[in-house]
A and B are shown apart, each in its own frame.
Chain A
Amino acid sequence: MTIETSVPQATPRKPWSATPRDRINTGLVLLGAIVFSFAVVAVTPMKGKLAYFAMFFIAYLVLEYVVNYLKAGRPAAVDSLFRGLVTMAIAAAVTPIASILITVWLRGHHGLHLSLFTSDMRSNAFTDPVSQGGLVHAIIGTFLLVVFAMIISVPIGILTAIYLTEIRGRFTRPIEFLVQAMSGVPSIVAGLFIYAAILVPLTKTVNGIQGSLALAILMIPTVARTSQEVLKLIPADLREAGLALGGTQWRSVAIVVVPAAKSGLITAMILGVARVAGETAPILLLTGGSGAKNYNMFNGSMGSLPNYVWQAFASGTPEAITRAWAGILVLLVIVIALFAAARTLGNRKVGAK
């Protein structure tokens, strides 16, 4: 017993964590870089936000390099230089996102008011004061377009995913390849295709369902690929259990596999919807942009949020531009809500009810 207690308790040490001296060094480097950037901007003709950023960044990299070179030699200095570069890269990737979100809010919230969600643009022009007219017709239109696109694309997408994961026949490789190729189809080409295949020979006019068909083409790959990923995660045990109980493959897929993947499949649907809700190019070719409410997908011009934004932007006056930003704010809120819903569902454990 005495032997055990006499063993000194090792205090956990973290030799890799920053010492106070390191912290002071980091602080000094940052401070030096800031001072340098201000000095350069004040002395030389270089001006503007960009100059501050560029000078700060260059000074920071150089100082980091020198400090680390003195402390630990060249490899450490190069390492710190690279760390600086990738940090700048992530900053450059995230800055536009922040800028876009902030801009949409700042410019769009002036245009938000209650009548936006109660009236349409039937008797108003985009150049009218913002308090008149609204976009309820556009919300209805986008909703209908997306729902019909879902009705068309979700069965096809999920069947494709089931083929790729459950049947795995001889077409597996080609279909996988084609689905990926399909995800790269430009939206304008999908629009042109429906225009050539349906609008010119059959309907000869704009209507909602044509838009839905084009959106469905863009949605199928997203739904198929996400569903495939989800179905892959279903443990093989479940399938084997279904078969071992004497079920046919059809029964074990329908009763065991698909219900187990339910939340994931819903996620796939939502991601598909988020992908196409803001799609503009095919809408412009195919659905028209009525300012009145239209509940009939098969007849008449159909307004939609992207179309509303587009027309408002094209009108060009300050009122119209405010409308465009308000429209895009509504659209963005819808997309973010869908995205958040997909995330929440997707984070659940696969197989949980």
Chain B
Amino acid sequence: MSSAQVTERQAHPEKRVITTRPRLSDRIFRGIVTGGGLSSLLILGLILAFLLYNGFDTFRQQGIHFLTSSNWQAVVSDAGKVDIANSHFGIAAMLIGTLILSFIAVAVGVPISVGAAIYLTFYAPNSIKKIMVTAIDLMAAFPSVLFGLWGFFVLEGSAEYWAKLIHKYLGWIPLFKLDAPYVNRSPFIAGLVLAIMIIPIVTSISREIFSQTPLDRIQAAYALGGTRFAMLRAVAFPYARSGIVGGVMLGLGRAMGETVAVYTVLNIVYQVNWHILFSAGGNVASMILLKFGEASPYEIKALMAAGLVLFILTLIVNSLANLIVTRTGKSGR
């Protein structure tokens, strides 16, 4: 350091303060942005708090029966007050219905979605690929009431015929048994509608993960003389497996929370129905919508409790799914 510079610096009476501390404007900016970012925590927390607060009475009175019994009866006494001691609220039938419907949706929707994703990633010519990707992304934006109407008026006709076929040839399996010959508006048909509704999300996640398959490994498989199927089996499937599991669970979460489409297509009957071809069933979300119209304030509290169960259920499934997806792929979606 030359003496000239030293003297020059000494000539200045005040030293410029150099600090890593951000300025006030930046601190305000960061505060606002962090606040905005934390709003998702706030909203989820509020949802949990309000549903818990409103549903708490029901949980306390019904205890574990709320989850295990299938009896939903709001008894109103002569004075118009709700007879709490004799009222029963249990959502077991609807919980089982939710599981059955989403299981059908996954069983039908996932093979189609994963197959479609494989076709789009590894087989499709570019022109077809563009159109189909756009179409499937567009489908994700279709309103659920549209799926409901379509399922009710269009799919119903074909699906009843399929249901009869399944019953005729596979009726010996308990799942496909029919106690009475009614196959319209069955869980099977509602499950098919849900399967179609989860196709866009599962396809787009699987496609994203397949497209991240390392190119050098793909080329190595081809260079060893493998066919395309051999390459898929040796390279793409192992790479994408857990990511697809995550995508499937996201689809599952979507199917579990669906309300309007199920309400439209399914004949909602409050009973446990394992026979998926039979015209009776329901899920928690559609039950809430069904009972909401004529519910007394007390019954609405029970519906809040049901909503809380549904919320926690979807939250768990989605969180697991996101953990799996983010752990495999670089970007979750």
Residues of A within 8 A of B (CB): 48-50, 75-76, 78-79, 81-83, 85-90, 92-94, 96-97, 99-100, 103-104, 107, 155-156, 158-160, 162-164, 166-167, 169, 171, 174-175, 177-190, 192-193, 195-197, 200, 217, 220-221, 224-225, 229, 248-251, 253, 271, 274-275, 277-281, 284-285, 306, 309-310, 313, 321, 324-325, 328, 331-332, 335-336, 338-339, 343
Which one of B64-72, B86-94, B176-184, B306-314 contacts A?
Answer: B306-314
Max chain B Cβ within 10 angstroms of own Cβ: one of A50, A164, A193, A285: A193
Instruction: List B218-265 residues whose CB lies under 8 Å from chain A.
Output: 226-230, 232, 250, 253-254, 256-260, 264
Contact status B123-A163, CB under 8 Å: no
Name the one of B25, B153, B250 contacting A184, with C-beta atoms under 8 angstroms. B250
Contact status B303-A192, CB under 8 Å: yes
Contact status B227-A78, CB under 8 Å: yes
Q: Apart from A99-B150, A249-B30, A332-B146, list 20 A-B contacts with CB within 8 A.
A: A79-B229, A86-B116, A86-B123, A96-B196, A96-B199, A97-B136, A100-B150, A103-B150, A159-B32, A166-B33, A169-B30, A178-B41, A179-B40, A186-B257, A250-B29, A251-B25, A279-B144, A309-B145, A331-B143, A332-B142
A182 to B113 alpha-carbon distance, docked (Å): 23
Residues of B with C-beta under 8 A to A100 = 139, 142, 146-147, 150, 154
Q: Can you name 9 A-B residue pairings with CB atoms under 8 Å?
A: A93-B132, A181-B319, A182-B40, A184-B254, A186-B310, A217-B43, A248-B22, A281-B259, A336-B138
Instruction: List B126-159 residues whose CB lies under 8 Å from chain A.
Output: 132, 134-139, 141-147, 149-150, 153-154, 158
Q: Is B47 among interface residues, defined by CB-CB distance under 8 A?
A: yes
Which one of B5-13, B270-278, B284-292 contacts A?
Answer: B284-292
Known: A185-B47, A279-B143. A192 touches B260 (CB 8 A): no
Residues of A with C-beta under 8 A to B311 = 185-186, 189
Max chain B Cβ within 10 angstroms of own Cβ: one of A155, A188, A310: A188
Contact status A278-B119, CB under 8 Å: no
A343 to B256 alpha-carbon distance, docked (Å): 29
Contact status A278-B259, CB under 8 Å: no
Max chain B Cβ within 10 angstroms of own Cβ: one of A174, A186, A310, A335: A186
Interface residues on B, range: 35 or more
Q: Is B203 among interface residues, defined by CB-CB distance under 8 A?
A: yes
Contact status A285-B292, CB under 8 Å: yes
Chain A nearest CB from B252 CB (Å) reads 10
Residues of A with C-beta under 8 A to B229 = 75, 78-79, 81-83
Residues of A with C-beta under 8 A to B44 = 178, 181-182, 185
Residues of A with C-beta under 8 A to B317 = 184
Name the one of B53, B135, B288 contacting A192, with C-beta atoms under 8 angstroms. B288
Contact status B314-A186, CB under 8 Å: yes
Chain B nearest CB from A222 CB (Å) reads 10
Contact status A196-B227, CB under 8 Å: no
A187 to B285 alpha-carbon distance, docked (Å): 9
Scan B6-45; emit 1 where CB is below 8 A from any A CB, else 0. Answer: 0000000000000000110110111011111111110110
In the complex, residue of chain B having the shortest beta-carbon distance to the beta carbon of A313: B149
Chain B interface mostly: helix
Q: Is B114 among interface residues, defined by CB-CB distance under 8 A?
A: yes
Residues of B with C-beta under 8 A to A166 = 33
Q: Is B269 among interface residues, defined by CB-CB distance under 8 A?
A: no
Q: Is B46 among interface residues, defined by CB-CB distance under 8 A?
A: yes
Residues of B within 8 A of A (CB): 22-23, 25-26, 28-30, 32-41, 43-44, 46-47, 50-51, 53-54, 111-116, 118-120, 123-124, 132, 134-139, 141-147, 149-150, 153-154, 158, 161-162, 165, 196, 199, 203, 226-230, 232, 250, 253-254, 256-260, 264, 285, 288-289, 292, 300, 303-304, 307, 310-311, 314-315, 317-319, 321-322, 331-333
A107 to B226 alpha-carbon distance, docked (Å): 49
A94 to B322 alpha-carbon distance, docked (Å): 26
Contact status A196-B37, CB under 8 Å: no
Contact status A90-B115, CB under 8 Å: yes
Known: A156-B36, A159-B32. A184 touches B143 (CB 8 A): no
In the complex, residue of chain A having the shortest beta-carbon distance to the beta carbon of B162: A50
Contact status A163-B33, CB under 8 Å: yes
Contact status A89-B135, CB under 8 Å: no
Contact status B158-A188, CB under 8 Å: no
Contact status B304-A192, CB under 8 Å: yes
Residues of A with C-beta under 8 A to B203 = 93
Max chain A Cβ within 10 angstroms of own Cβ: one of B120, B227, B314: B227
